[in-house]
Structure formats: structure tokens, C-alpha cells
Amino acid sequence: MVVTVVVGMYWGDEGKGKIVDMLSDKYDVIARYQGGANAGHTVKIGDEKYVLHCLPSGVLTPGKENVIGNGMVIDLQSLTGEMSDLAAKNKKYNLYISNSAHLTLPYHFALEKAHERALEKNVDKKIGTTGRGIGPTYTTKTERTGITVGDLRNPDYFREKVQINLDWYKPILDVFGDGEKLDADEIVAQQLSFYPVIKDMITNTAYLLNDFWKKGKHILFEGAQGTLLDIDFGTVPDVTSSHPISGGACTGTGIPPTAITDVIGVLKTYPTRVGAGPMPTLMPDDINEEVRKAAGDEIGATTRRVRRCGWPDFVAARYAAMINGLTSVALTKVDVFDGRQQIFICENYKHGDKIISEFPASAYDLAKYKPELRPIDGWNNTAGVTSCEKLHDNLKAYIKRIEQNLEVPVSIISTGKERDSTIIRRPELIFPKVA
């Protein structure tokens, strides 16, 4: 059986949703393993556009088993809202939710707002989060006061835990907060009102997934965010609070590392960033604007913030290939560069006289590095192309260059938003044993 992890190789928004949706047909099970409503995964099917936050992108392919793993954090208002939106569009799917996934509760939102405000005011170091309560939810998880989906089954225990959190965090919110009135009974009542909607979906997804695996089902793990937003390996401190990397699929679901057969890295033709933090290859403002216009959508799918665009960064991509153990790359949005005479690529950074070929461990160092930009000839007419032979020669040469740099083959090329604007360049690498 095939167990594939799909991960983002930059700072998120690489087109993971499109790739997972496109691959879903070949798999039996699609599972998310980290993040929460901070994710915004866009899938276009015909004239219909879906933006998924908590639900795996497999929900859009009929007949699949979809799983929300223990590594995710769940805002039940957002999740049930997403479910209602799909119901309104008559979309039917099977969904299982881990009883160990942690809940994002009203005090997490309040704490995040207070923390961002303090960071901005005191040291001008706001992270620019998505405001979905993600960091504080993972904080209470590691602090061991977090509350899980499974805790909804025992209202008294649930209330006790909410009170413990309110007692602990109230002094912080009194100083830095917005004067939010947080009441344990109200929080419990609100959360319990969502419970009937998800009750029958809650289970121990670690056993479920291992069972699926033993029965020979093909499993696809959908990463959210990207490698450079990983809490350990990203541009700390401007990162998210989970593990978007392939290793996160194990801790975030209970599937053993030995089960994973392949890892596909989604590499957008150019990196983008929302929120704070350096991006060495940032494009000049005018080109940034042109690229955003050409893409039509470099606006955050979750927060509607403008995404900053950069030239292709091979230092970052080589790092992502290493950390994730990529078996192949899905190159997305090549069509956005259609018509560009010249493209600049960065194979190394420099710092004074020094050439830097390794991605640094912190944003502090990354901010000091300058890109060594090298011009290459651009390409044209790739939008909607579905066969490799029809691709412009300069793009073919560029793909070879990616492969040389990363020492990983490019298996998929995405030439547009739609499912079928896709080239499967190396089918044997992505569907190794799937008929």
C-alpha cells in the first residue's frame, strides 16, 4: 500500500489543496495531521471554488475516508461552519475526528490578541498570525492544561479544565487583554452545543488509521502551512506552532514512520509570505505587484492579507527537500510566470564575502543574508498545458535545474487552478503501487 505525505516547501500557500484534491482519487484515506483553521487550502472544481480550513481536501472526492488527526487543533465553530457550507453545496463525505485533538477555545483567541498587541507595542515584533488562536492552543497542549475533543464527553471534567485555564490566564488578560469577559459556563455551553454535530465522528484515529493501513488502504496525508513555518525547522520566531514537515504526519496521527512510502513536496514557482519575517528573495515592489496580478490570487485564503512574493529560492527548497526526505516535487503555478522575459533564481545567499548555501536556524540570521540572484530566460504559454512535450524549452531547462539543485525529481507540474491543469510527469513516482 501507499502512504504519501504532501508538504509545503516554503512559507505556505504553495498549492497543497489543489495537489491533494488532484491526488485524492487514487487514495482511500485523506488525513490532516497539524494546524487548524489557520490553513486555507483552495480547490477549484469546474466553476466552484472551495477554501478548506480544517477539513482535509479529500472531502471533495466522493467515497473517501477523511481524518482529522490528533496533531490538529480544532475550533469547533469554524469546523462546523465549514461542514454547513459543504452541506449547503450538497457535498457528502465520511469524516473521523481524533478524540485527542485539542480544542481552540475563546480564551485562546483572547490570549493571542493580547500577545500580539504586547509584541507590537513593546518590541515591534508582532508575528502577524492568522488570529485563529493557534499558538495559544498548542501552548496549553504542551503546558498540559489543554482540552481535547474527547473531553466533550464529560461535561463536568470539561468545565473543571476550562476553569483551571481561566484562573491561570485571567491575570495576563487583565493586564494585556481587551477586557474580554470569559465565563466558564458560557464556554462549556457553547462547546457542548457543537457536540451533537460531531459526536458520531469522534474516535481514536490512531487505531483507525493503523487499521486502514493494515487492511492495505492507500493513505494520503495533507500538510498545512509549510516547512519554513515549522516550529522547530522554520524561520523562528516567525513560524506557526506545529510541525508541517513530513515527520509531523507521524506524531500528528499515530501512523508509524516505517509506514510512509513517499513524500511529495509542493514547490510553488515562487515563494510567498504573509505575516512577519524575512524573505531573502523578495521581489521589487513593481514585479511583486505584477506577479500578484498574474496569479490573480496572492491574497491570503484565510485572512485576505496580501502575500509578499519572492524569486525562486533554492537554498530554502534544498533545505525543505532534506528535512522532509522528499521523494518527488510537485511544481505549482508555472503559468504565473508566463510571458516573463527574465526570471531570477537564488542558489546561494551571501553575507559579506561569505557564500551561504545552508538555510539558517533563525529569522535573525536569515534577515542578514542577501540573495545571489542569477537571471535565467523565462517561458510562455504554459497555462492549462497538460503534457510535458508542450512545455516551453526554458521551463524544461528550469525543471532540470530544480532537479539538479534538490537532487529530487519533479513528478507533477501544475499549470493552472483547475484539477486537470496538471501534468503527471513521473507517474511511477507518485502512484508507485496504485493501479
Burial label for 407, CB within 10 Å (0-12, 13-18, 19+), is: exposed
Instruction: Give, as ranges, the residues between 322 and 351 that touch ligand GDP (CB under 6 A).
Output: 332-333, 335-336
* Nearest in space to 265 (alpha carbons), one of 185, 191, 326, 200: 326
The binder of 278, among ligand IMO, Mg ion, ligand GDP, none, by C-beta within 5 to 8 A per type, is: none
Q: Name residues whose C-beta falls within 8 Å of residue 322's C-beta, 6 or more positions apart in sequence.
A: none
Among 69, 106, 135, 265, binds ligand IMO (CB under 6 A): 135
Does residue number 15 form part of the binding site for ligand GDP (CB under 6 A)? yes
Identity (one letter) of the amino acid at 336?
V
CB of 317 to ligand GDP, least distance (A): 15
Q: Of 147, 224, 331, 410, which lies in the binding site for ligand IMO, with binding defined by CB under 6 A? A: 224
Q: Which of 5, 9, 10, 14 contacts ligand GDP by CB under 6 A?
A: 14
* Secondary structure (3-state) at 92: coil
Annotated catalytic residue 41? yes
Q: Is 275 in the site for Mg ion (CB under 5 A)?
A: no
336 binds, among ligand IMO, ligand GDP, Mg ion, none (CB under 5 to 8 A by kind): ligand GDP
**Dihedral angle over CA of 267, 271, 277, 281, nearest 10:** 130
Q: Which amino acid is at 31?
A: A
Q: Is 41 in the site for ligand GDP (CB under 6 A)?
A: yes
Q: Which stretch binds ligand IMO (CB under 6 A): 20-28, 98-106, 144-152, 238-246?
A: 238-246
- Tell which one of 27, 416, 419, 425 touches ligand GDP (CB under 6 A): 416
Closest contact distance (angstroms) between CB of 12 and Mg ion is: 6
Contacting ligand GDP (CB under 6 A), which of 2, 10, 18, 371?
18
Question: Do residues 40 and 301 lie in contact, with contact meaning Cβ atoms separated by under 8 Å?
Answer: yes
Q: Is 429 near ligand IMO (CB under 6 A)?
A: no
Inter-helix orientation angle 106-118/155-176, to 10°? 20
Task: Decide if 128 contacts 135 (C-beta within 8 A).
Answer: no
229 makes contact, choosing from Mg ion, ligand IMO, ligand GDP, none, with CB < 5 to 8 Å by partner type, with: ligand IMO
Task: Confirm or reject binding of residue 17 to ligand GDP (CB under 6 A).
Answer: yes
Evaluate whether 311 touches 343 at the Cβ level (below 8 Å). Answer: yes
Taking CB under 6 A as the rule, does residue 105 contact ligand IMO?
no
| Site for ligand IMO contains 69 (CB under 6 A) | no
Cell representation of residue 361: 536556524
Place of cell 473521523: 96
Q: What is the end-to-end Cα distance of the chain in Å, rounded?
A: 11
284: preceding bond cis by omega (within 30 degrees)? no
Q: Which of residues 279-308 bind Mg ion (CB under 5 A)?
A: 301
Residue 40 interacts with Mg ion (CB under 5 A)? yes
Active-site residue (options: 21, 41, 102, 115): 41
Decide if residue 104 touches ligand IMO (CB under 6 A): no
**CB-based burial label for 358 (10 Å; 0-12, 13-18, 19+):** exposed
CB 288 within 8 A of CB 282: yes
Could you say which of 13, 21, 75, 313 is catalytic? 13
Distance (Å, whole) CA 139 – CA 135? 6
Contact 19, 266 (CB under 8 A): yes
The yes or no reply on residue 417 touching ligand GDP (CB under 6 A) is yes
CB nearer ligand IMO, residue 13 or residue 335 = 13
Contact present, 62 and 92 (Cβ < 8 Å): yes
Residue 13 known to be catalytic: yes
Residues 36 and 240: their CA atoms lie apart, in Å, by 11
Our CB check for ligand GDP shows the closer of 75 and 372 to be 75
* Per-residue cell: 404: 539538479
Q: How many binding residues for Mg ion (CB under 5 A)?
A: 3
- Residue 413's nearest CA partner among 393, 372, 383 is 383
Among 12, 71, 177, 271, which residue interacts with ligand IMO (rule: CB under 6 A)? 12
Q: Which does 415 bind (CB under 5 to 8 A by kind): ligand IMO, Mg ion, ligand GDP, none?
A: ligand GDP
Contact 271, 11 (CB under 8 A): yes
Q: What are the residues binding ligand GDP (CB under 6 A)?
A: 8, 12-18, 40-42, 44, 295, 297, 301, 332-333, 335-336, 414-417
Just list the catalytic residues.
Answer: 13, 41
Chain contacts with ligand IMO (rule: CB under 6 A): 8, 11-13, 38-41, 127-130, 132, 134-135, 224-226, 229, 238, 240-241, 274-275, 301
Residues at the contact surface with Mg ion, assessed by CB under 5 A: 13, 40, 301
